[in-house]
Amino acid sequence: MVHKRENRRYGTNLPGLLLVEGVNDLNFLCQLFVKRGIYDYNKQENQFIPKSFSSKEKGSYTELKNGLVEELKDESLQAIGIVVDADENLQDRWKDLTKQLQKLEYSDIPNEPNPLGWISETKGKIPLGVWLMPDNTISGILEHFIAWMVPDKNENPLWNHVENSISNVPDRRFANKDLAKAQIATWLAWQKEPGQPISYAIFKKYVDPNSTSADPFIAWVKRLFQL
Amino acid sequence: MRIAGERASGLYYFNLYEEIVFMSELHLNSLEITNFRCFEHLTIEKLGRVNLIVGKNSVGKTALLEALWLLNSDACWPVIHKILYDRNELVRYRLDAMASLTPMEQQEQMGALKSFFTGRPPKPYNQTKEPDPKFLYQDALACSFVTSTERFYLALRTVQNILMCSDSRNTSIPLINGFSFQPHHCPALPQKEALDYSVIEESKKFKTVFIPLAGLSWKATCTYWDDIVLTNKENEIISYLQLLDREISRFTFKGENMQDRVRYSVVKTGRFPDPLPLANMGEGIQRIFALALAMSTASNGYLIIDEFETGLHHSIQADVWRAVFKLAHEWNVQVFATTHSWDCVEAFQEAAAEDQNEEAMLIRLQRKRDGTGIVATPYDEESLKIVTRQGIEVR
């Protein structure tokens, strides 16, 4: 028997479903939902308690994209959201998603992603929302979004030091697209408890869950799932 | 599989005994059900050779199996009766073998039969007007099962008979007015023992076997075994049993024709010099044995199983499915099974992916989003692969 990787999911039998790429994204966003009052949290059991919508990671962008048709077969589903990285080219990612959504008979897809997060209103289909990390307007990844939530980022001496040291790193081995990843990893490495995952960063307020930079994303989630 | 060619009638191939088997002749390729139990209108556009039906409680998984059973047994009375008794829609049997149909029995059966029709509509009885036996009027209840090759109607007329009609699809006949039906005269209630034997006889006649939740009855198991003993199929069934226990080499029934003895099954294993009762070897092996016998009886026909996983540990389910795919192909059986178990869905997918023929279909019954009834959502082998890999809930 082939060993199967289990996709992690929080929440079952809820009317909404949010799909994200990986486990890190999932845990970070769910922790953010807790701090923003969208999800509850059980401290004893150390568990997220989703309300209104479940969240689920698909392992990768490709898996997420290819699994959409199967997820949408669930007739009990009332709304579905997709959070993916824009990655190196926002336009390409949007076009690729557009192609897939058209196959699924979504017809009102704009040429450009909506800066406030897009939500389809195609008749006869359930609302489907797309958020391209970090903000639907630039290429990038979840870590850019997280970096904007660093408290007083521009005047923060530790953050400045993170940026400076990484730009001066000798024998730099990562590609430019992963710069934000390196910065967040370094930022986490130099906190009181070094080396914790990014979901923990919110919990410990290494990044500010109430940062206004996250407001448009939270507003999109609330619009999509009618919270 | 050896595909020997394609003709107007579809694919055919040679089975193990070098007999030509036409694949599409017996196959239901699609199914449309109207007005039967909870299905006001259910369409399944594509069926596979091996079909697994999933869905939450009360979405009609068993009703779908009943529809298939009725359709493939020409709605014969023993099958109608069996369905009604199993659902406690009929509860009284006949005691006296010689008794004839009484008006009360007739009323009981007609009343029970209403449960076949969506919403159990309390249609007014129009007793004053005697209907023309050749025509079905608006005051009758009717349901239909339409496949790619056949339309099958079942109707309950108000006064005395159930009416049924099977017709080839190429004639377009209106369902209600002016349509000629064959009356299907209501029999006396069956005796309990006799009903079981009639159901077994019909299953052989129509090559359509239904395995209920409780498993194949002992009577059916014995009868089916007697049909294949000392044939090539016996060896295949033994090799199927070896899936669970490699040591099994022979199988037989021991029966005493005395009132105080029972007939029971024994196997010879390599471990002991004496034969062992099959019942000693666990629920799983008995279930598998019954499954193999049912498949052999359903050769060139249909096997219908309520809750496939019953009695099977999850570790052997994939093996059992593999055998089902293999036998379904070799013996030309179309299989319909239900399940609640995710393990069973995964095992089904695993076996389907290994099988070279694209023959598996998962059918999910669910309530429609807009609340207008039940819909059948199909998942072919490609879909199933994604569903099981990503853990997408389909049950």
- The residue range of the domain holding A167 is 142-200
- B209-267: per-residue pLDDT in tens? 999 988 899 889 989 999 998 888 898 888 888 877 889 988 888 876 667 777 888 89
**CA-to-CA distance for B191 and B92, rounded, in angstroms?**
9
DSSP 3-state assignment of A136? coil
CA distances for A147 relative to A154, A179, B106, B189, angstroms: 11, 11, 78, 78
CB contacts, 8 Å: B367 with chain A: 75-76
DSSP 3-state assignment of B80? helix
Identify whether A194 is part of a domain.
yes
Do A37 and A50 reside in the same domain of the chain?
Answer: yes
**What CATH number has the domain bearing residue A43?**
3.40.1360
Identify whether A20 is part of a domain.
yes
Residue B96 CB neighbour total at 10 angstroms = 8
CA B119 to chain centre: 23
Identify whether A108 is part of a domain.
yes
Tell which wins on pLDDT, A19 or B257: A19
What percentage of chain A carries pLDDT values higher than 70?
98
Do A79 and A163 reside in the same domain of the chain?
Answer: no
**CA-to-CA distance for B256 and A114, rounded, in angstroms?**
81
Are A70 and B375 an interchain contact pair (Cβ–Cβ within 8 Å)? Answer: no
- Least confident interval from A49-58, B128-137, B279-288: B128-137
Are B350 and A1 an interchain contact pair (Cβ–Cβ within 8 Å)? Answer: yes
Q: Where are the domains of chain B?
A: 75-204, 218-283
pLDDT of residue B33: 92
CB contacts, 8 Å: A77 with chain B: 369
DSSP 3-state assignment of A214? helix
Do A46 and A78 reside in the same domain of the chain?
Answer: yes
Q: Which residues contact B101 (CB under 8 A, 6 or more apart)?
A: B186, B187, B188
Q: Which residue of A has its CA nearest to B318?
A: A1
Parallel, antiparallel, or unpaired for β A79-85 and A16-20? parallel
Report whether B293 contacts B224 (CB < 8 A): yes
Are A70 and B377 an interchain contact pair (Cβ–Cβ within 8 Å)? Answer: no
Give the helix, strand, coil percentages of chain B, each rounded to 5. 35, 25, 40
Q: Which residues contact B104 (CB under 8 A, 6 or more apart)?
A: none
* ipTM entry: 0.86
CB contacts, 8 Å: A73 with chain B: 364, 377, 379, 394
**CA-to-CA distance for B122 and B119, rounded, in angstroms?**
9
Q: Which residue of A has its CA nearest to B370?
A: A75
Do A25 and A106 reside in the same domain of the chain?
Answer: yes
- Please tell me the distance in Å from A195's CA to the nearest CA on chain B: 29
Identify whether A135 is part of a domain.
yes
* Closest to B130 (Cα-Cα) out of B171, B154, B153, B158: B158
Domain count, chain A: 2
CA dihedral B143, B148, B150, B153 (to 10 degrees): 0
Residue A52 has which token pair? 């209104």
Do A189 and A91 reside in the same domain of the chain?
Answer: no
Identify whether A206 is part of a domain.
no
Do A98 and A153 reside in the same domain of the chain?
Answer: no
> Is residue B196 pLDDT above 90, yes or no?
yes
Do A42 and A101 reside in the same domain of the chain?
Answer: yes
Do A162 and A179 reside in the same domain of the chain?
Answer: yes
Do A79 and A55 reside in the same domain of the chain?
Answer: yes
Provide the H-helix boundaries in chain A.
23-35, 61-71, 90-103, 142-147, 157-167, 179-189, 198-203, 215-224
> Is residue B156 pLDDT above 90, yes or no?
no
pTM: predicted TM-score of the whole model, two decimal places:
0.86
The DSSP output letter for A111 is S
**CA-to-CA distance for B263 and B192, rounded, in angstroms?**
20
Identify whether A82 is part of a domain.
yes
CB contacts, 8 Å: B369 with chain A: 75-78, 126
Are B389 and A76 an interchain contact pair (Cβ–Cβ within 8 Å)? Answer: no
Choose from B317, B372, B389 for mutation: most chain A CBs within 10 A.
B389
> Is residue B371 pLDDT above 90, yes or no?
no
Q: For residues B19-48, give the mean pLDDT.
A: 79
Do A61 and A151 reside in the same domain of the chain?
Answer: no
Do A137 and A154 reside in the same domain of the chain?
Answer: no
Q: For residues A28-40, give the mean pLDDT.
A: 95
Identify whether A1 is part of a domain.
no
Q: Which H helix or E strand runs over B145?
A: strand B141-147
Are A63 and B390 an interchain contact pair (Cβ–Cβ within 8 Å)? Answer: yes
Are B368 and A74 an interchain contact pair (Cβ–Cβ within 8 Å)? Answer: no
- List residues bridging with A128 in a β-sheet: A80
> Is residue A99 pLDDT above 90, yes or no?
yes
Q: Is A63 at the interface with chain B, CB within 8 A?
A: yes
Report whether B221 contacts B214 (CB < 8 A): no
Cis preceding-peptide flag for A157 (omega within 30 of 0)? no
CA distances for B82 relative to A133, A199, A214, B111, B112, angstroms: 60, 58, 63, 15, 12
Q: Which residue of A has its CA nearest to B350?
A: A1
Chain A (89-128) residues lying within 8 Å, Cβ to Cβ, of chain B: 126
Residue found by looking up tokens 């029999």 in the block: B187
**CA-to-CA distance for A172 and A185, rounded, in angstroms?**
15
Mean pLDDT in chain B?
81
Parallel, antiparallel, or unpaired for β A79-85 and A40-42? unpaired
CB contacts, 8 Å: A9 with chain B: 391
> Is residue B131 pLDDT above 50, yes or no?
no
**CA-to-CA distance for B336 and B148, rounded, in angstroms?**
17
Are A126 and B369 an interchain contact pair (Cβ–Cβ within 8 Å)? Answer: yes
Report whether B361 contacts B47 (CB < 8 A): yes
> Is residue B189 pLDDT above 70, yes or no?
yes
pLDDT of residue B146: 81
Do A136 and A183 reside in the same domain of the chain?
Answer: no
Identify whether A205 is part of a domain.
no
pLDDT of residue B17: 47
- Please tell me the distance in Å from B343's CA to the nearest CA on chain A: 12
> Is residue A50 pLDDT above 60, yes or no?
yes
